[in-house]
């Protein structure tokens, strides 16, 4: 018997008229039945969000009251953390130790934005005109279509809903068709927190119909998207219709630079966590390792040894460090690109195929390391969204910078060196939205997050993100 989930539209839970089955990546078998939003469902959700924006109690609510609702939502997430983590693990294969840890961050982001709700101030402007006063107001941008990919759906929606609701916007949140269970369950907490009907609507469905209707909808004022670059191009074409504002958090091929002056053991631990954490299914995965030639062989041997010790197993088991990939499509893409890279001259250090000892239909792959002799190896350019580390050697700092910046993406980067002046030079030179020095993959609600180039537009996190959900009104008063 499959578990069933519902949409949340205009304050009501609805079973939906069309459905699809969700697959457990650890078994390859369907475990839940999800509603698939039709164009009519999307329309109703957007209209409800628009009504809530313009006429419901939401419009008249003081900013501090919005903050209280967000804080209440954060408390409910903390209360139900175990249930939410288990659902995310079941539906996406992300290991339970990671989903549990991430739920903590999810609540933290909502709390942070709860505190910012009444701090989005306008400004008094001392204009040089007789008898004139001028000031600006920050008003909510409007109806937000928040679209998230399957990995980390609770987290990736928190970085959109937190600032959007703090700013007074209303939201239609579209969960990915892969692994939507945690977000559909989260809708119940939104309801319990007491947000007025229509302020938050949660639906799921397929990109080509439900996503398409949402992003072209004339009542949508902003599309906040996280996902792949191809989908982002569709969305930008779609928003040419409604001229909605857009923020795009896309993929990455993030470089990690290791110089020969560092403690290799500590760098090695960060590199392993940076690429094999979440089975590599992270937009900021440190998937390109650039290592100074003198220490390359030693570091590679250490990495291969640590990769072999990673505990692969059931995602529900707390001891498991790496679970299956979320979809079969990703497993096939990974295997194809690893083969093309070996054909182009890369040496397979470890992994490369499915991990042994699991059900034939499951999506387990082994941690993989490719030693690349030059920069034209496909694995150095293609985002796997899986546990594949591509290693390339450099001789000096200038070469390291050139290799690091030789990518269409520009999301994150890591630098391991004990030379402070070199670290500062690299911070200036690296073409990436995030530079982590002697650490990797640390996030905080206070710190903006986002990429350069094909990695996206706009920033999530911090006050910057909250202001991006407001629009400025300029006021002139003849006194
Ligand atoms: P995807 O682009 O296929 O799907 C993302 C979402 O877009 C899904 O909800 C999907 O239904 C929807 N969608 C698909 N087509 C659409 C359309 N035409 N109109 C509107 N919506 C549409 O991405 P994915 O495979 O689910 O996720 C992996 C990608 O997400 C990777 O490229 C990864 O790097 C990226 N990602 C980025 C970040 C970040 O913060 N930068 C974080 C996580 C993942």
pLDDT along the chain (479 residues), means of 10: 96 96 91 96 98 92 97 98 96 94 97 98 96 97 97 96 98 97 98 98 95 97 96 96 96 97 96 95 97 98 96 93 91 95 97 82 93 97 96 98 98 98 98 98 96 96 96 97
Q: Has 249 been annotated as catalytic?
A: yes
Cβ atoms 355, 365 nearer than 8 A: yes
Rg of the chain (C-alpha set): 23
For residue 42, give both structure tokens. Answer: 């999307």
ipTM of the complex: 0.95
Strand 412-416 vs strand 434-437: parallel, antiparallel, or unpaired?
parallel
Angstrom distance (rounded) from CA 329 to CA 385: 11
Angstrom distance (rounded) from CA 58 to CA 165: 10
Angstrom distance (rounded) from CA 52 to CA 403: 50
Angstrom distance (rounded) from CA 147 to CA 127: 41
If we measure between CA atoms, which residue out of 463, 458, 457 comes closest to residue 445?
463
| Atom of ligand 1 lying closest to residue 175 CA | 9
Residue 10 CB burial class (10 angstroms; 0-12, 13-18, ≥19): middle
Angstrom distance (rounded) from CA 255 to CA 284: 10
Q: Is the CB of 250 under 6 A from ligand 1?
A: yes
Angstrom distance (rounded) from CA 441 to CA 413: 9
Q: Is the CB of 353 under 6 A from ligand 1?
A: no
Q: Is the CB of 385 under 6 A from ligand 1?
A: yes
Report the SS3 class of residue 242. Answer: helix
Q: Which of 88, 108, 177, 249 is catalytic?
A: 249
Residue 405's alpha-carbon distances to 203, 254, 346, 371, 388, in angstroms, are 38, 10, 20, 19, 19
Cβ atoms 386, 280 nearer than 8 A: yes
**Residue nearest to ligand 1 atom 23, measured at CA:** 227
Site to substitute for ligand 1 among 203, 227, 330, most atoms within 8 A of C-beta: 227
Give 231 Cα–ligand 1 centroid separation in angstroms.
6
pLDDT at position 297 is: 97
Side-chain half-sphere CA neighbours of 44 within 13 A: 16
Angstrom distance (rounded) from CA 17 to CA 20: 11
**pTM check: above 0.80:** yes
Angstrom distance (rounded) from CA 458 to CA 88: 27
For residue 396, give both structure tokens. Answer: 């000096």
pLDDT at position 361 is: 84
- Domains, the chain, in order of start with CATH, read 3-250 (3.40.605.10), 255-437 (3.40.309.10)
Angstrom distance (rounded) from CA 294 to CA 60: 64
Cβ atoms 47, 172 nearer than 8 A: no
Q: Is the CB of 227 under 6 A from ligand 1?
A: yes
Give 61 Cα–ligand 1 centroid separation in angstroms.
33
Place of tokens 């030639």: 293
Angstrom distance (rounded) from CA 205 to CA 207: 7
């Amino acid at each position: 018997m499959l578990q069933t989930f519902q949409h949340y539209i205009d304050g009501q839970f609805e079973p939906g008229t069309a459905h699809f089955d969700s697959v457990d990546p650890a078994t390859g078998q369907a475990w839940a039945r999800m509603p698939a939003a039709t164009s009519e469902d999307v329309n109703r959700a957007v209209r409800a969000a628009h009504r809530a924006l313009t006429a419901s109690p939401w419009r008249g609510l003081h900013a501090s009251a919005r903050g209280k609702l967000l804080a209440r939502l954060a408390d409910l997430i903390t209360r139900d953390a175990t249930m939410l983590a288990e659902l995310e693990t079941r539906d996406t294969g992300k290991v339970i130790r990671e989903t549990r840890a991430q739920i903590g961050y999810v609540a933290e982001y909502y709390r942070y934005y709860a505190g910012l709700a009444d701090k989005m101030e306008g400004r008094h402007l001392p204009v040089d005109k007789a008898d004139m006063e001028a000031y600006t107001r920050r008003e909510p941008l409007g109806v937000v279509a928040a679209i998230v990919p399957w990995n980390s759906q609770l987290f990736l929606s928190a970085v959109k809903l937190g600032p959007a609701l703090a700013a007074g916007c209303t939201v239609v949140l579209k969960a990915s068709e892969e692994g939507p269970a945690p977000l559909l369950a989260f809708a119940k907490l939104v309801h319990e927190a007491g947000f007025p009907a229509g302020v938050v609507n949660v639906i799921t469905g397929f990109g080509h119909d439900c996503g398409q209707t949402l992003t072209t909808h004339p009542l949508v004022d902003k599309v906040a998207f996280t996902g792949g670059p191809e989908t982002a191009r569709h969305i930008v074409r779609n928003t040419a219709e409604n001229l909605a504002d857009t923020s795009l958090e896309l993929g990455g091929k993030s470089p990690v630079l290791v110089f020969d002056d560092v403690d290799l053991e500590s760098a090695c631990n960060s590199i392993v966590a940076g690429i094999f954490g979440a089975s590599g299914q992270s937009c900021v995965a440190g998937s390109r390792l650039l290592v100074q030639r003198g220490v390359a062989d030693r570091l590679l041997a250490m990495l291969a040894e640590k990769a072999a010790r990673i505990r692969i197993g059931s995602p529900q088991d707390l001891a498991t460090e790496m679970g299956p990939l979320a979809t079969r499509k990703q497993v096939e893409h990974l295997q194809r690109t690893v083969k093309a890279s070996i054909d182009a001259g890369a040496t397979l250090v470890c992994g490369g195929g499915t991990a042994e000892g699991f059900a034939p239909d499951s999506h387990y792959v082994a941690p993989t390391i490719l030693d690349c002799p030059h920069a034209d190896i496909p694995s150095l350019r293609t985002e796997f969204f899986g546990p594949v580390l591509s290693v390339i050697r450099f001789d000096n700092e200038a070469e390291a910078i050139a290799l690091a910046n030789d990518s269409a993406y520009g999301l994150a980067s890591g630098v391991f060196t004990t030379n402070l002046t070199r670290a500062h030079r690299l911070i200036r030179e690296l073409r990436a939205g995030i530079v982590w020095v002697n650490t990797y993959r640390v996030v905080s609600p206070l710190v903006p997050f986002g990429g350069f180039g094909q990695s996206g537009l706009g920033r999530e996190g911090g006050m910057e993100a909250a202001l991006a959900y407001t629009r400025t009104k300029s006021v002139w008063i003849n006194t």
